Amino acid sequence: MSAATVTIREPELRWGPSARGRLGMYCLIAAEAAIFTIFVVAYLFYLGKSLSGPTPAQVLHVPVLFTVCLLSSSLTIHLAVRSLRKAKTGAFASWWLLTLLLGAAFLAGTGVEWRHLIYDEGLTIQTNLFGTTYYSLVGLHAFHVIMGLLALCTVWLFTVFGKVTSDHAERVDTLALYWHFVDTVWVVVFLVVYVIGR
């Protein structure tokens, strides 16, 4: 046994909380990316293997409008965070709300598309391999959009009550990072489902 003493010197903190949050978000994104990759692989693997039922080419229409909505919401969220960093909370609230609405529009668009597919084309998750893989992949993405929207909504509510200031810019930016990820996933899903797969 030996009693050891350690150097006494109060160090400056080199890593702030923001670095932690961002790195944590990157790790979460990596994990989520792995999950989506498996669903994409399943989708690609099963292309053309359905034994029956409607094929992608027959029933899928390229969702231009609500894709534009979602992708531009990445721009608006970026502008929102930029405003917040400059302490322009009014502008921040506006851009943030616009992001929310664009995201909601995307979800509504997905809902409309699904309604058409289920009731007009008779394609459900049970119909065939295409149905299963399509609804699972797009649905998983939509689920992540919903989670993101819930978080965005929470921040927006805090903003409305005047609680969000430029001090929170880093944390809000970390959330924005998640939103950018959700948009990136949509780019991949869009390419796989509506371009390659059709």
Structure letter (DSSP) for residue 166: G
134 binds other proteins (CB under 8 A): no
User: For residues 197 and 47, is the Cβ–Cβ distance under 8 A?
Assistant: yes
Decide whether 30 or 62 has the Cβ nearer to other proteins. 30
120 binds other proteins (CB under 8 A): no
Decide whether 32 or 105 has the Cβ nearer to other proteins. 32
Q: Which residues of 87-124 are buried (b: 16+ CB within 10 A; e: fewer)?
A: eebeebbbbbbbbbebbbbbbebbeebbeebeeeeebe
39 binds other proteins (CB under 8 A): yes
8 binds other proteins (CB under 8 A): yes
Give Cβ neighbours of residue 21 (< 8 Å, ≥ 6 apart): 170, 171, 174
162 binds other proteins (CB under 8 A): no
Q: Which of 44, 46, 68, 188 binds other proteins (CB under 8 A)?
A: 46
Decide whether 65 or 147 has the Cβ nearer to other proteins. 147
User: For residues 166 and 87, is the Cβ–Cβ distance under 8 A?
Assistant: yes
Q: Which of 151, 171, 155 minimizes the C-alpha distance to 163?
A: 155
Q: Which of 183, 160, 172 minimizes the C-alpha distance to 82?
A: 172
Q: What are phi and psi of 121, to 5 degrees?
A: -105, -10
Decide whether 94 or 124 has the Cβ nearer to other proteins. 124
Map the footprint of other proteins across residues 15-34, applying CB under 8 A: 15, 19-20, 23-24, 27-28, 30-32, 34
Residues that bind other proteins (CB under 8 A): 1-11, 14-15, 19-20, 23-24, 27-28, 30-32, 34-39, 42, 45-46, 49-51, 124-126, 128-129, 131-133, 136, 140
